[in-house]
Structure 1
């Protein structure tokens, strides 16, 4: 038999209340969350208009944080056309609008993502931002896992032809404790979320633009799995509907609690859902099933 290395793990018999997972201090135990489902267009202006309306509605309903979907700023599969509009972060109209709206309404905003460029590399970056109520950017996340797939009956999809991947997992401190940033296809890589949970994250943001066939088959099971296996809330705002660049997305923006219960499913129409999250559910789930600290090292062998 050949040994292939040692897996990560924690001490057997550890008490999750005293050892293993450095849960970040949660200063507020409830979060009024507004989650948006969008059908973003192929230029910035209509998307900025949509987010302006969503932020106003979120604030009117007493939300403290607005979560937006992947590519909220721009959905345009025509590379030449998109190239004329995609710019550096500092000049991006969607990012600027989100910052202004956060300050205007006193909201935290997770922008989901929007394509930007940086440096000499001609490829776009699928970048998300977390913005505080003063309008300051407190965290940036560049999508790590790019959607390079071969779906049955469809042309090959190669996100990496147009985008370059990020290489940093990003967790940010908020009034509700630590939150983890990710985007769409990252959802299929559970070790990323395990690392976030073991580092103390209580909320996993997974803004997305799933295809219809993959969404129908995998979206809800994957979201519930990430919530259950890590004892975290999952917040997954999504694109949904027929976009003006010709693509179709699955929708079904979801919030899942740490026990795997779906608290919100927005089905297929654009709009806003507001839900109150009881963050004590994170500690309760991890006490009941302390898998984060029950994890053990192992040797991998072949016979």
Structure 2
């Protein structure tokens, strides 16, 4: 295993139409790879269309053969990187999913993850949003390899479910990536701390890549993308606006943490266990 992996989490801003959003993402990917040396680039949740249950269906496309997917596949190949394409609405069989696709450095499609836990919140006077009004649940995990490193993908609200991250640990993942759009009410309370907890619980790196905050939108993302190490420490964080987070993951830390605090091997599987059904 290589000792380090340079990654980029792109906290993108909103654009008035899909074509502008795609062009901006491709340009930012190129900058992250060519100018900053990133080998893994990550995009946020719902970056190519408004985060609005009334607009998801009309902006949905096929994955991996739609307009956005073709542009991202080419960007991965042109820059020789692994690319986690954030999420965008996927249409399949008359259903719409909140889906994250992943490509390899030759532009090869490595798979897609459909959001398993759909965001539902109703805090009177603060925030009210229900993805169940627009999306269908996904039912399958996605893992992919970057050399000897295995990575897993979740999406935003999945962060809140400790069992979800633990399932990725059982799959052998040492990196868990969450494209996100936490809201501005729960974000300050929960966004960073849940990422730290998932990293600490499972002795893994965790990346939370958010959209930038835009208060002109009906739903404003929290921002503050962050990258956590296996000790649960925040390595770096963004602010509210568009920003590129760059981090060098020291992969030797994974072995060290597992030896120094061996919680993975000390679980009492004779008393309790997590069962993955698919």
| TM-score exceeds 0.5 | yes
Bigger Cα displacement from structure 2, 110-119 vs 46-55:
46-55
Matches within 5 A, 1:52-201: 52-59=26-33, 60-77=35-52, 79=54, 81-121=55-95, 124-154=96-126, 156-201=128-173
Matches within 5 A, 1:16-31: 27-31=1-5
Give the CA RMSD over aligned residues. Answer: 1.8
Quick one: higher RCO (CA 8 Å, sep 6+), 1 or 2?
1
Q: 1:194 to 1:84 in 2, by over 3 A?
A: closer
Q: 1:76 to 1:187 in 2, by over 3 A?
A: closer
For the 8 Å contact 1:30–1:176, the answer to whether it is kept is no
| Separation in 2, partners of 1:257, 1:118 | 36
For the 8 Å contact 1:48–1:73, the answer to whether it is kept is yes
- 2:232 paired with 1:257: no
- TM-score under structure 1 length normalisation: 0.84
Following TM superposition, the consecutive aligned residue runs of length 4 or more in structure 1 with deviations greater than 4 angstroms are none
Displacement after TM superposition at 1:90 (Å): 4.2
Deviation per residue, 1:185-211 (Å, 9 max, x gap): 000000111111122111010110000
2:251 matched to which residue of 1?
279
**Structure 1, gaps ≥5 residues long:** 1-26
- TM-score under structure 2 length normalisation: 0.92
| Separation in 2, partners of 1:195, 1:152 | 33
- 2:195 paired with 1:223: yes
Bigger Cα displacement from structure 2, 186-195 vs 68-77:
68-77
**Structure number with bigger Rg:** 1
| Separation in 2, partners of 1:46, 1:181 | 26
1:5 matched to which residue of 2?
none
For the 8 Å contact 1:70–1:113, the answer to whether it is kept is yes
